[in-house]
Chain A
Amino acid sequence: MSAAALAHAPAAGCTEAPVLRERGQREVFCGLTGIIWLHRKIQDAFFLVVGSRTCAHLMQSAAGVMIFAEPRFATAIMEERDLAGMTDANEELDRVVAQLLARRPDIRLLFLVGSCPSEVIKLDLSRAAQRLNATHAPGVRVLNYSGSGIETTFTQGEDACLAALVPEMRADPAPSLLVVGALAEVVEDQMRRQFEALGIGPVAFLPPRRAADLPGIGPGTRFLLAQPFLAETARLLEEHGARRLAAPFPLGAEGTTAWLRAAAEAWDVPAARFREVTAIGEQRARTAIARHRALLAGRRITFFPDSQLEIPLARFLARELDMQPVEIGTPYLHRQHLAEELALLPTGATLSEGGDVDSQLDRCRAARPDLVVCGLGLANPLEAEGFTTKWSIELVFTPIQGYDQAGDLAALFARPLDRRMRLMV
């Protein structure tokens, strides 16, 4: 973050703001749900959840509305015999994997994904992955990570998946920029063009679109997080010598400029050149955003915890659309990765981490915000109570990063308000 950008921020921001921490029911997804978008991103990967019928049911309830000719995820459902030790769980897993790979010879990368039941009975999936690698090499690489609810919340599943890819990256000491976090293909392509125009490169993305295109890593690698939920991935990248470029996240005109600037500064791009490259995009973003200001400015907004995107989104909505955050709930607050965001966030909102859904609902009902960002378990019930809601999962499934998506991002929040005004039923 440059000094210039910080000068526009309110003096304190929320860097020192207290964070409300409660204990109670958490109405969030587990990390397995990351598979829903990761399987589309890495096109030759397959995700095999090792878990119970509940895990399988979660996956198909979330994804099953799409009709698949060949889905790229499945569940190895543990049965009574596996728990009673009557069958060797490892032999069973080997059998299931062989059955799966015989059906899908096009798979190059197989993730064994841990779940609550497999973690509780301490089934060692990392050993299983090693063993299966020996059997199925060189055609298929087998990795593992945990997407269990006891360890991961929603988008943390992507963090765990990418962290599993880091040790697979070949050593490459040459200077390069790595953009970390699954992004829509259109967003990736735009970013690639912007970095090229700035003379920054070579640029690589994690995760790649195909397993074979995994980028290299080494002391020359600088990385930008494109998503705020990548704590473990960032830690491992740093362990391999890469260095994180601190920046706010590329949401909105301001966020995107600051994010690009972090890379530009690391590559010593002259300020004039930077302005020249980013000015048009930034202006385009501001124009697109402005169309939604009339509907959103002055509106009060509350976020229920879901994806860790809540703080960057609140920053964007507050600073670029003049919305007023009332409460910003996040499942997990990574102070270091969000330092630049917190500094930009206007004071006045309640920050809460984790939390208790019933008491947060009480606060929400008392505050009566104009817009509530929440999961699908709460959205319709809150609508029925007369609240306008924006279901939060969509923010993970929609291209929202970068200049040319800034207007779309604002539109996601404007649409439910627009709809409420249009409907006369």
Chain B
Amino acid sequence: MQLAIWTYEGPPHIGAMRVATAMQGLHYVLHAPQGDTYADLLFTMIERRGARPPVTYTTFQARDLGGDTAELFKSAASDAFRRFQPQAMIVGASCTAELIQDDPGGLARALGLPIPVIPLELPSYQKKENWGAAETFYRLVRGLCAPPAPRPAGRAPSCNILGPTALGFRHRDDLREITSLLERMGITINVTAPLGATPADLTRLGEADFNVVLYPETAGPAAAWLARAHAQPATKTIPIGLNATREFIAEVAALAGIDPAPILAAESSRSAWYSRSVDSNYLTGKRVFVFGDATHALAAARVATEELGFTLVGLGSYAREQARELRDAAKAHGIEATISDDYLAVEASIQAAQPELILGTQMERHTAKRLGIPCAVISAPVHVQDYPARYSPQMGFEGANVLFDTWVHPLMMGLEEHLLGMFREDFEFQADAAPSHLGAAAATATPTLPATLTWTAEAERELGKIPFFVRGKARRNTERYATERSIGTITLEALYDAKAHFSR
């Protein structure tokens, strides 16, 4: 058993729902107990969709367990076919139904429906949401994609865009940004999937020259299969951030056999100038902790250090599959990656690193509140406020602009930071108050560290004069300095000795 206060991913059948809901003309029959329909709310409320997800649940109850739950599944599947007339169907079980072992695949086959029915095996007690989405998309592509056809010569280069799903973090706008970028490069989009695709569209995937994989978490296995079965190469670079977008353009141009120079020369992002402008000087060396899915965490670490001048003090992900890449990226910054899906372990890493900014998920917003640290969201899981009405991609040139605004916003603005360092007794702009441009909203409880060392009253007062967003780090450094030198009581001198020693 794992104690989970928050969980980074849902169960794998939620991943399957994300694929089914992203597509058109596909229906999902899910063997699940009463109550599991809560998942509909993810799509109707959090993503604010105006249609019910194409999912039929058997919603069995305790009294059904004594009877024939298999029969219940069969009648739900045939009713769903009659009512919704889908082009194809996927069938599977949720975690409770997995325990009663009714075999939805076999039962659906026995119904002899006149459409492709693709059974899903999603082990709920081992795997999670992203795996479920990737597996579902892979099974669909494998089950529906027609045999390879010769690609006509002499036409414009063509690609598929793979990965965007329902309930993806900014998938809607990333897709628009990248589609328009590819079109400006003169590339034809063959199929975009799963978002907006029909089962019939999936049969045409083989007609493209190559695949653009935007989210390896959901499209990785399908793209790997298309590379094997249809000899379609796939992009590896994720175009989040200015530098990554430029690399992505070069990579796509190479796959498409075109010259990237004109578009690279013509386009850029305001974020580059914003970051160079003197107002951003104070951002230099801000200590940032990055956590999220592997794709967004790796991209954010790069943007934070290369494009904003932050110092990376923590990097991690809940995606164990990409652990090696994350460890390598962390090592380059002299830190150790936090690879964990345990919210409490991530919280402990953050506490140890004492960052000035957390770039994370909805879950890190809880930790940030507890520790009183500014925070911006870079990755799923996210809540309703991160499915905004306005255009807000993470990818491409406009995405880089969005990242600049979003990440700098929670930090205290330069002038206020300076004045707080000088004058600490203002009745309004107090040392422990939240940045005034955020209103009174963010309370900043200073975390209490275990009192292993004694501080003299004078030293403690002096510590209080250090701006609150670096105070935790100063306390930790001083205590480390004192412990290493067996100094039992921290005096004013020890505080400044430690400051000189670490000299941030």
Contacts and interface: CB of A to CB of B under 8 A. Distances in A.
B125 interface: yes
A71 B44 contact: no
Interface stretch (A1-9, A78-86, A257-265): A78-86
B1 A26 contact: no
Interface stretch (A149-157, A198-206, A276-284): A149-157
Contacts of B95: 52-54, 116-117
A16 interface: no
B11 A57 contact: yes
A26 B3 contact: no
A148 B52 CA distance: 24
Contacts of B7: 53, 56-57, 60, 75, 77
A116 B35 contact: yes
Contact of A148 (B10, B33, B41): B33
Contacts, number: 193
A425 to B, nearest CB: 12
Given A28-B34, A67-B365, A78-B1, A60 B56 contact: no
A120 B65 contact: yes
Contacts of A31: 35
Contacts of A67: 365-366, 369
Interface in A22-75: 24-33, 50, 52-54, 56-58, 60-62, 64-65, 67-71, 74-75
Interface in B29-74: 33-42, 44-46, 48-52, 56-62, 64-65
Chain B, interface size category, equals 35 or more
A381 B65 contact: no
A92 interface: yes
A54 B94 contact: yes
A53 B11 contact: yes
A149 B34 contact: yes
A383 B62 contact: no
Contacts of A27: 37, 40
B3 A54 contact: no
Contacts of B504: none
Nearest to A69: B370
Contacts of A150: 33-35, 60-62, 64-65, 96
Nearest to B375: A67
Nearest to A98: B3
Nearest to A150: B62
Contacts of A83: 99, 125
Interface string A359-400: 000000000000000011111110110000000000000000
Nearest to B99: A120
Nearest to B57: A25
A93 interface: yes
Contact of A89 (B1, B37, B59, B344): B1
Contact of B3 (A70, A76, A119, A384): A76
B73 to A, nearest CB: 12
Interface residues of A, number: 65
A75 B3 CA distance: 6
B480 to A, nearest CB: 25
A377 B11 contact: no
Interface string A284-320: 0000000000000000000000000000000000000
A61 to B, nearest CB: 6
A78 B124 CA distance: 10
A336 interface: no
Contact of A26 (B11, B37, B384): B37
A120 B362 CA distance: 32
B366 A32 contact: no
A89 B4 CA distance: 16
Contacts of B96: 52, 54, 116-117, 120, 149-150
Given A117-B96, A381-B50, A25 B44 contact: no
A121 interface: yes
Contacts of B384: 65
B50 A64 contact: no
B51 A377 contact: no
Interface in B375-396: 381, 383-385
Given A53-B11, A79-B125, A82-B1, A61 B34 contact: no
B50 A380 contact: yes
A150 B44 CA distance: 24
A100 interface: yes
B3 A25 contact: no
A30 B58 contact: no
Contact of B370 (A53, A70, A92): A70
B50 A383 contact: yes
B1 A32 contact: no
B445 interface: yes
Contact of A28 (B35, B83, B370): B35
Given A52-B11, A54-B124, A120 B100 contact: yes
A369 to B, nearest CB: 18
B3 A96 contact: yes
Contacts of B344: 103
Interface in A141-188: 148-151, 153
Contacts of B4: 53, 56, 74-77
B2 interface: yes
Nearest to B385: A65
B274 interface: no
Interface string B348-374: 000000000000001001100110000
B170 interface: no
Nearest to B47: A380
Contact of A79 (B2, B9, B362): B2
Given A99-B3, A380-B49, A61 B41 contact: yes
Contacts of A75: 3-4, 7
Contacts of B45: 376, 380
A13 B125 CA distance: 50
Contacts of B94: 54
Nearest to A149: B35
Contacts of B33: 30, 116, 148-150
A358 interface: yes
Nearest to A356: B79
Contact of B48 (A57, A77, A96, A380): A380
Given A150-B34, A377-B40, A384 B50 contact: yes
Nearest to B41: A376
Contacts of B44: 376-381
B225 interface: no
Nearest to A96: B3
Name the residue among A30, A82, A92 with the largest chain B CB count within 10 angstroms: A30
Interface in A188-213: none
Contacts of B282: none
A80 to B, nearest CB: 5
B423 interface: no
A344 B95 CA distance: 43
Nearest to B362: A64
B257 to A, nearest CB: 44
Contacts of B61: 26, 149-151
B258 to A, nearest CB: 42
Contacts of A151: 61-62
A57 B369 contact: no
B448 interface: no
Contacts of A378: 44, 52
18 contacts: A26-B59, A28-B35, A30-B38, A53-B124, A60-B6, A62-B41, A67-B369, A70-B370, A76-B2, A79-B1, A82-B125, A103-B344, A116-B96, A120-B96, A149-B36, A149-B96, A150-B61, A377-B37
Given A60-B6, A377-B44, 6 more contacts: A25-B57, A28-B35, A28-B37, A53-B7, A54-B124, A74-B5
Interface of B: 1-7, 9-11, 13-14, 33-42, 44-46, 48-52, 56-62, 64-65, 76, 79, 83, 94-96, 99-100, 123-126, 128, 344, 362, 365-366, 369-370, 381, 383-385, 445
Question: Which 7 A-B pairs rank lowest in CB-CB distance, beginning with the nearest?
Answer: A149-B35, A30-B35, A384-B50, A377-B40, A57-B10, A116-B96, A52-B95
